[in-house]
């Protein structure tokens, strides 16, 4: 994380994702005085100061003096924010990292005046507990130093991977961006099924969460892929095989693929709609 130690970072927006990144960055050794957050809500600004001792402002233009800007606002607000910053950044371009879902780099560049190096990120909500997964894409103006800086920032709260094809950001959104909800749905369904079978709510919840955590930990630490791990825990004519056969009969894999394709299509449509702002 040496690329961060002498940098001043500014967040535009102080919501949950910004808070998770700030917490992660402080744990890496970045000092609170190296972080500025622009946030219009007074109560939220006060909480940021109390919780992290970072600098705060209610003026987005104050962020332009920092080495790197992280746009952490809702996608619908980013066109307005970018155009507000354009006058200053046009004269002194700075790296801008966008974590706003669905905003294409060419549209963001147009709103900013076309001179800023840009990196687009698609983080996910487990970043809030330091277990995030993030896809990154760099515009043509972003150099290796910019990319290393962005990677270090996102790695402070989890995994970061790069793609050279911005169109893949829609697939990344479908996989890791929306992915936590898929696992939450599976956990919800397993928990409810256990309750329907006579288990108490408390025991069903505890066993479901620990089973999910254990399976993810096994997969993360094993040299084998998911297919091999599944085979290893499936005894012939056993209980696991009976459950899996029902999943196969219901086309579980096909359902997952169709769901992810739907998410990717929606991401592409939103990018087009937001880009017309």
Q: What is the pLDDT of residues 98-116, one digit of tens each?
A: 998 889 999 999 999 999 9
**What integer pLDDT is reported at residue 1 of this predicted model?**
54
Confirm whether 273 is domain-assigned: no
Q: Among residues 149, 168, 187, which one ends one of the domains?
A: 168
Percent of the chain with pLDDT over 90: 91
241-268 mean pLDDT: 96
234-244 mean pLDDT: 97
120-131 mean pLDDT: 93
115 φ, ψ to 5°? -110, -10
pTM across the whole model: 0.90
31-60 mean pLDDT: 96
Going by DSSP bridges, is the β-strand pair 132-138/158-162 parallel, antiparallel, or unpaired? parallel
**What integer pLDDT is reported at residue 90 of this predicted model?**
83
Confirm whether 33 is domain-assigned: yes
| CATH code of residue 44 | 3.40.50.720
Structural domain of 43: 2-168
Asked if residue 2 has pLDDT above 60, the reply is no
Domain count, the chain: 2
Does residue 203 sit in the same domain as residue 140? Answer: no
Q: Are 166 and 137 in contact (CB under 8 A)?
A: yes
**What integer pLDDT is reported at residue 20 of this predicted model?**
93
Find the angle CA(209)-CA(210)-CA(215) to the nearest 5 degrees: 100
36-41: long-range contacts (C-beta < 8 A, 24 or more apart)? 36/8, 36/9, 36/10, 36/11, 36/62, 36/63, 36/66, 37/10, 37/11, 37/13, 38/10, 38/11, 38/12, 38/13, 38/14, 38/62, 38/63, 39/13, 39/14, 41/14
Asked if residue 179 has pLDDT above 60, the reply is yes
Does residue 90 sit in the same domain as residue 185? Answer: no
250-260 mean pLDDT: 97
Asked if residue 94 has pLDDT above 60, the reply is yes
243-267 mean pLDDT: 96
pLDDT tens digits, one per residue of 134-148: 999 999 999 999 999
41-55 mean pLDDT: 96
Confirm whether 272 is domain-assigned: no
* Reported confidence tier of residue 4, pLDDT bands at 50, 70, 90: confident
Q: Among residues 138, 168, 198, which one ends one of the domains?
A: 168
Does residue 132 sit in the same domain as residue 64? Answer: yes
21-30 mean pLDDT: 93
């Amino acid at each position: 994380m040496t690329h961060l130690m002498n940098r001043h970072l500014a967040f535009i927006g102080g919501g949950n994702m910004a808070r998770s990144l700030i917490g992660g960055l402080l744990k890496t050794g970045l000092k609170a005085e190296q972080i500025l957050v622009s946030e219009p809500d007074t109560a939220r600004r006060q909480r940021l100061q109390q919780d992290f001792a970072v600098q705060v402002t209610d003026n987005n233009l104050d962020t332009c003096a920092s080495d790197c800007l992280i746009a952490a606002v809702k996608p619908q607000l980013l066109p307005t924010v970018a155009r507000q910053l354009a006058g200053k950044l046009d004269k002194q371009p700075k790296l801008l990292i966008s974590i706003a879902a669905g905003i294409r780099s060419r549209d963001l560049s147009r709103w900013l005046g076309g001179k800023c190096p840009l990196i687009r990120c698609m983080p996910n909500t487990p970043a809030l507990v330091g277990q995030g997964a993030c896809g990154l894409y760099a515009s043509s103006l972003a150099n290796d130093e910019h990319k290393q800086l962005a990677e270090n920032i996102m790695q402070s709260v989890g995994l970061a991977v790069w793609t050279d094809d911005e169109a893949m950001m829609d697939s990344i959104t479908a996989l890791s961006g929306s992915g936590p909800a898929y696992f939450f749905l599976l956990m919800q369904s397993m928990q409810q099924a256990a309750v329907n079978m006579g288990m108490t709510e408390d025991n069903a919840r505890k066993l479901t969460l620990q089973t999910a955590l254990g399976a993810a930990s096994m997969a993360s630490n094993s040299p084998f892929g998911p297919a091999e791990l599944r085979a290893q825990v499936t005894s012939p004519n056993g209980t696991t095989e009976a459950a899996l056969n029902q999943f196969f009969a219901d086309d579980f894999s096909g359902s997952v693929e169709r769901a992810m394709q739907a998410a990717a299509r929606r991401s592409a449509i939103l990018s087009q709609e937001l880009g017309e702002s």
